[in-house]
Amino acid sequence: MEHVKSYHSVEIDSEHGTLIVEGPISSEQLSHYEFHRDLNAFRPPAKQFEAVKSIADFKEGRIIIARLDNLIAGYVTYLHPDPLERWSKLNMEDLIELGAIEVIPEYRGTGVGSQLLKVSMKDAYMENYIIISTEYYWHWDLKGTGLNIWNYRKVMERMMGAGGLTPYPTDDPEIISHPANCLMAKIGEHVPQSSVEQFDELRFWQRKNYRAQRR
């Protein structure tokens, strides 16, 4: 599968200046920017920046950023699922995962996260993918936002909805381990029915294995 990437951008006025949301961005372009020290939800900022740059070099990898001048204040990543996850079991070239989305505290609640997703979807080639996002409450900044689990879940659903992602049922053990967790997905207009069927198989992998063992 050819992974075509087309650049798009928007400008957002903020109290700190004009915020540019743009991408996909290459690792070479990223190297000219600074990574905000508060982008630390997943690992220390310097290490996360290196991880983001490495994703940008994957053939399917996509990095969309929000920056104020040369300072990155938010980002979203897309790539094939981790080989250890169930979502990679069928080696689907047209399934990519929204791996991480992060915005510095100063811009949370201002719509920057939604704009990152909207710019992501401006590329028409995204309609060739099934895009998934696995949401786990233990990754959410409940303390920093002051929201409870269910209100945070509503915020996440609204933000993901800006990119066209909606909740999908699954029997994935980690997701069903807590009712606030969820699988969100968007099936592109040009995704073949065969891929949709494979995605359905992955969503209910536990059920499939149970039935196989019963035979």
For residues 131 and 153, give the distance between their C-alpha atoms in angstroms, rounded to a whole number.
Answer: 19
Asked whether residue 1 is domain-assigned, the answer is no
pLDDT at residue 109, rounded to an integer: 78
**What CATH number has the domain bearing residue 106?**
3.40.630.30
pLDDT tens profile 174-193: 999 999 999 999 999 999 99
Asked whether residue 185 is domain-assigned, the answer is yes
pTM: 0.92
Residues 6+ apart with CB under 8 A from 80: 58, 60, 88, 95, 96, 97
pLDDT at residue 53, rounded to an integer: 97
Ordered per-residue pLDDT tens for the chain, 215 residues: 999 999 999 999 988 889 999 999 999 999 999 999 999 988 999 999 999 999 999 999 999 999 999 999 999 999 999 999 999 999 999 999 999 999 998 888 788 999 999 999 999 999 999 999 999 999 888 887 889 999 999 999 999 999 999 999 999 999 999 999 999 999 999 999 999 999 999 999 987 665 555 55
Give how many domains the chain has, as a whole number.
1
pLDDT at residue 214, rounded to an integer: 53
C-alpha 143: how far from its chain's center? 22
CA distances from 43 to 60, 88, 100 (A): 23, 23, 12
Task: Name the percent of the chain lying above pLDDT 70.
Answer: 96
8, 122 in Cβ contact below 8 A? yes
Residues paired with residue 23 on neighbouring β-strands, in sequence order: 8
Asked whether residue 3 is domain-assigned, the answer is no
pLDDT at residue 193, rounded to an integer: 98
Nearest CA among 69, 72, 130 for reference residue 101: 72
- Domain holding 65, by residue range, is 8-214
